[in-house]
A and B are shown apart, each in its own frame.
Chain A
């Protein structure tokens, strides 16, 4: 199963951009890259996902390396409310033995 590797934690200053890296060197051609985040004492929430091209939405941007072995979640202007654990996960699109594997994620600390 394809797995992801993320730093345990990162710190950033409020109102500055944040780049959260994720390595997924064993990714297969059909794996989508999904990012979720989990705020303290809450359930995970969807942030963004992509397959090959970079993606933007109102929450963040996702930059995917050309070889797809890594990706970066970009928060353009972090606020205190962005302090959370960010998970980078892979989802296979056609897998009869489907399993979603969540890593430990990156704990993002935002300093005022």
Chain B
């Protein structure tokens, strides 16, 4: 069983479109994250939710809107896609919040290409 699964794995779309990436974890964790990895391979946290509540919201354009219907799911919706949004987006989860030393479990990533 995949612990953190995200779909789609690959997504090619045109500028200006709206797209969503879905994420689910079956680990029973309280906290979920979205990370962005750019072309230089730097990983940056975008959002973190703990029990469906937003606890970390880094400097991300408001075109990006996370939604957590329950603590096992954290979806990422992106409006008006731009070329610079092309990156790999990783969903992740941890047992407790990011203030603890918990291990973070990552999904396999969603490769987004905006053309």
Contact = CB atoms under 8 A, between A and B. Distances in A.
Nearest to A31: B101
Chain B interface bracket (under 10, 10 to 19, 20 to 34, 35 or more): 20 to 34
A32 B102 CA distance: 10
A50 B16 CA distance: 45
A43 B23 CA distance: 13
Contacts, number: 51
B92 interface: yes
Interface residues of A, number: 25
Interface in A27-67: 32, 34, 36, 41-46, 49
A105 B37 CA distance: 13
Interface in B4-23: 4
Nearest to B55: A98
Given A42-B108, A49-B101, A100 B45 contact: yes
